[in-house]
Every structure is written in structure tokens, then in C-alpha cells.
Amino acid sequence: MPMRLLRQYLMPESAQADDPELRPDAMRAWLARLPLTKPLAAATAIADRAALVRSREPAVRKRIRLYDLLYETAAEVLPQIEEKLGRASLPLSAQADALIEQANRLLKEFGYGYSKIAVEVSGKWLGLGFAKPLRSATLRGMASHARRLMLSYRVYSGGSRSAWTAMHRLYRIARDGGFAGETIINGFTIELLYRRALLMAFADPARHKPGELDRVRFYIERHGELAVLGDAGSMLTGKAGSGGVFLVDHDDRVAGRSLAKWHAVQPTPQDLILDCTALIRKLGEHVRGLEANIVPAQLGLPLVARQPQYLAMLRAMMGCWGAPAMRKYHRARFHPRVDLVAGFESVRGFLDGAAYRRWQTERGEPETPAEDVSEWVILNESPSGFALRLVAGGATEVRVGELVALRPHDRGTVQACLARRALSAKGRRLVMGLEALAGRPLAISFSVPETQVDRRGAMREVRAILLLKLPSQKNAPALLAAHDTVWPGIEFTVTNRGRKTRLRVARRLEKTASADLYLLERGGV
């Protein structure tokens, strides 16, 4: 280490050049004046000050003290931003873009600043009193990068590759230094934060509905220690090509790679294996317990696990950690454009109005455009769904888990779909993955009792969408209706092409963002 840096490490802070803006007492006074109830302004200001510390404060001890003051204040601001982003729709508004940009910049400053300290100090001057600062800087650097990734997941962004590069390096520093498993701050260890971040990334955040990420995070916090993190050399034997096992390359820019997808691997001595076998086994116990209607508390699950969407989330996690999906079809070379409408009420209004009016237009009748229609291009298509990229879209908002309807520009047909994945970027750039439900959905109305209890009382009209054939349910019919407006056992009659059919609501298949999807049974003509 150069003599100049050695002096900075060993010299008392009082003997070093003192920047008035970077005195701890001045920093505390400045932080006390921050408008913490205005998260965007506060995050911007703290990020600016953290950059100032990084560029102008050479003393490691003092730099850590200043970073810690900023870090603890940022902990009051970031939850406000995360809450706002958790409610954001896609594509992101200008306000949401600004929030994610400044929060990401703030966490990047902390992650980079603490990581720089850890790299500078590790293995050099630990005997001179830097063992504790090294541990603190490594932990907070890891926590900052992990939170930065989680912030990106909340808005369906892919996350930063540089964050993973830094996290892999920080874990190596802790592992080589023998303190990866030491409890450092508030009961946290570096290995704990690292394993949780890996599990969250392998849970495929782009597929989870708004609000589900926190449930996934809670599950990982409760049961994630069942996943075993160890050296690739000692753990890889017999597991190449296995589900539930991930290779974590120490030089990679992503979290890691599933051995179920990447069979030909040649790990280096520094690479790691994350074995999720025991965690998947626990997930299976929880899924089977919920399917058997066991009380969630007896399974060690939260009360919300009674909801059907929680069970669906657990099944999705089993798939992600066990056998991640692989592409089965080639990418499309021709990219047709489609109109898209999102949300139950908008889709039903579309079906009842302009959806099938292409044919009428060809007969000379004017088409009335739907207000909520956006234009997308199909990037890829398979028998089970589509990948779309937003081209132009007024006020249309889409969420993962939302009902959407597609109408190709060149055909007078409509496809009902569910949004299953999203990838968002700044400037209203958005790619969605859709699961195809059924073709040619129909807008229908029928009457049901006011309440489920009093079935002979007053009646009310239900506006719904009929799916004549649901391929995922052996071509049985299905129904989409607003939340809690129908229930199993209700019967109604529909007329399609002059034929009357009696249908009965059998069971709920899924609760989407704006509607319930029910399986129907045919009751005769």
C-alpha cells in the first residue's frame, strides 16, 4: 500500500485535512434539515452527499462514519419510495421513473462506497484495528446492493449486473476473511443476506403479481436457510443437470445459473453451489398442506396463505427453484402488431363494443375506437402465449396478473390472456409475457341473487365474460367476473349462435388483479 494511504489509515482524524462539509457534526445538522416526508427530494440530496463523501473524504474511518450517518437516514426514506413503487402500474409514469432512478442511485452510492472500503481494507491492515470496519462495510455494501436489486424487481426491471458483480466479490472477501457467517449488525450475517438475494433472484421476480414479492421475501426469510450454499467442487458431484441446484460463478454478472438448464459446467475453485433441495421439499409440504385445507398457522405460514393466490405463488416458486422453464419454441421472425386492452371492465366494454367491429368496418360501418386500447408488437408466440413489446399506449396500465384482450390488426378475432411476466425500463419501454386463455371471448350478462345466503331474494345483474373453451381445462367453458360477484353453484343460460346452453359455476380457478376466473360445467340445453 502506498505511504500516502497508510498515513490516511493510521493518522488521527483530527490531524487530517478537515472539509467543513464533511465533519460528522455538520453532517448531522444537514441531515436534520432534510425533508424526509418528501422522499424524492430527500433521496436525491442524500445520494448527492454520499457521492461527495466518496470523492472528497480519503480517511477510511471517517468515511465509514459519514456513510453510516447517511445510511441510517436513508433507511427512513427508502420504505416510502418502495411503498409508492409497489403500487405503480406499467408502463411506469414519469413520477415513478424519477423515484426509481434516484432510489437506485442512492443505493448504488452506498453499495459502491462501502464495497470500495471493503476492497481497500481487506487483507491489508486488519491488525491495525480495521477488522470491525471491514465487517461493517462488507455487510452494508451487500445489503445496499441487495436492496437495490429488490427495488428493481418491484418495477419489473431486470436488476443491475454491476450489483451482482459487487455482491459476488463482497461474499468472497467475507468468505476468505472467515467472517461470512459472523453476526455483525442487527443479527444479520453476510452469508444470510447473500443467500436471500440469490433465492429472490432465482424465484423469477418478473412473474410475481404486485404485492407478491414481499410474500416471497417473507417466505425466504422464514425458510431460506434450508438452501445450502457451499463450494462447487465439494457439492457438485452427482448434481450436474439436477433441478434445485444453481451454480454461482464468482466472476458472473448475474445471480447464477440452474444446473437443470446448464448441464456442461466447469466450475472454478472459487465458484459456489446453492442447493435448494431441502427448501423445495419444505415448499412441497406447504403446498400439500394447503391443498388438504390445513390451517396455515399449523404449517408455519401466514394467515394470507388461505387465499388461493398464495398457493399459486408457492407452486410457482417450486417451479422456479426446482426446474426453471426453458424455451421450447424458436423466436418469431415476423412481428405483427396487436391492439391490447387491460382490466376486466375495460376488456368487457371492449368485447361489448369495438372488439369485433373489424368485420363491420369492412361492410362500410364506421369503427369506434376504444379509449383504453394500446398498440403492441408480438415478439414471440407459442401455443401457450405471447411476448409483446409496447409500441404506443395512451392511458393503458397493465399489471402482472391482469386480464388482457388482444386483437391482431390483420384479423377480426380476439384472444383473452393473462399477463404473467413483465420487463420494464425507463421511458415507457415495456415487454409483457402473456398466457393465452381462450379465443373469441364473449361479453354476457345474467341475473343472480343479491347474496349467496338468500338465493330467493332480490336479483341483480352480473356483467361477465364467457370463455367457450379453456384449453388448459380440457376445453371446458369458463367465466370471468368482477371479484366476488358470483360463486360456485350459480346457474345461468347463454345463447351462442342460436343455441341455448345451461351453465353452472363449478369452482374458482384463479383470482386475477381485476376479476375471478371460474370453471363452468355444462348443464344441458
Instruction: Return the HEC string of 28-75.
Output: HHHHHCCCCCCHHHHHHHHHHHHHHHHHHCCCHHHHHHHHHHHHHHHH
Q: Going by DSSP bridges, is the β-strand pair 403-408/415-425 parallel, antiparallel, or unpaired? A: antiparallel
For the chain, the domains span 3-201, 226-322, 337-439, 442-524
**Confidence tier at 319 by pLDDT (50, 70, 90):** very high
Look at 504 and 425; give whichever has higher pLDDT.
504
Query: pTM of the predicted model, to two decimals?
Result: 0.88
Q: Is the pLDDT of residue 16 over 60?
A: no
Going by CATH, does the domain composed of 337-439 fall within 3.40.50?
A: no
Look at 266 and 364; give whichever has higher pLDDT.
266
**Confidence tier at 131 by pLDDT (50, 70, 90):** confident
The pLDDT of residue 368: 41
The pLDDT of residue 332: 57
The answer to whether 342 and 395 are in contact (CB under 8 A) is: no
State mean pLDDT over 402-419: 90
Q: Is the pLDDT of residue 324 over 90?
A: no
The pLDDT of residue 12: 46
The pLDDT of residue 457: 64
State mean pLDDT over 137-147: 97
The pLDDT of residue 402: 94
Q: Helix 190-202 and helix 161-177: axis angle, to 10°?
A: 150
Q: What is the Cα 11 distance to its own chain's centre?
A: 46
**Confidence tier at 365 by pLDDT (50, 70, 90):** very low
Look at 525 and 291; give whichever has higher pLDDT.
291
The answer to whether 478 and 470 are in contact (CB under 8 A) is: yes
Instruction: Tell me the per-residue pLDDT of 44-101, one tens digit each, with 9 for 90 and over.
Output: 999 999 999 999 998 888 999 999 999 999 999 999 999 999 888 888 888 999 999 9
Cβ-based neighbours of 380, under 8 Å, separated by 6 or more: 329, 331, 332, 386, 387
**Confidence tier at 359 by pLDDT (50, 70, 90):** very low
The pLDDT of residue 84: 92
Across 21-35, 215-229, 366-380, least confident range? 366-380
275-284, 455-464, 485-494: range with highest mean pLDDT = 275-284
Average pLDDT, the chain: 87
The pLDDT of residue 395: 62
**Confidence tier at 412 by pLDDT (50, 70, 90):** confident
User: Which phi and psi angles does 19 have, rounded to 5°?
Assistant: -85, 120
**Grid coordinates given for 492:** 345461468
**Confidence tier at 345 by pLDDT (50, 70, 90):** very high
The pLDDT of residue 216: 98
Instruction: Tell me the per-residue pLDDT of 274-314, one tens digit each, with 9 for 90 and over.
Output: 999 999 999 999 999 999 999 999 999 999 999 888 999 99
Instruction: Tell me the per-residue pLDDT of 155-204, one tens digit each, with 9 for 90 and over.
Output: 999 888 999 999 999 999 999 999 999 999 888 999 999 999 999 999 99
The pLDDT of residue 515: 96
**Confidence tier at 264 by pLDDT (50, 70, 90):** low
The pLDDT of residue 382: 86
Q: Is the pLDDT of residue 366 over 50?
A: no
The pLDDT of residue 196: 98
Picking from 472, 470, 489, the residue whose alpha carbon sits closest to that of residue 480 is: 470
State mean pLDDT over 473-496: 92
Say how far apart CA 86 and CA 213 lie, in whole Å. 9
Query: End-to-end CA distance of the chain, in Å?
Result: 88
The pLDDT of residue 149: 97
Say how far apart CA 93 and CA 439 lie, in whole Å. 31
State mean pLDDT over 213-235: 92
State mean pLDDT over 308-327: 86
The pLDDT of residue 416: 97
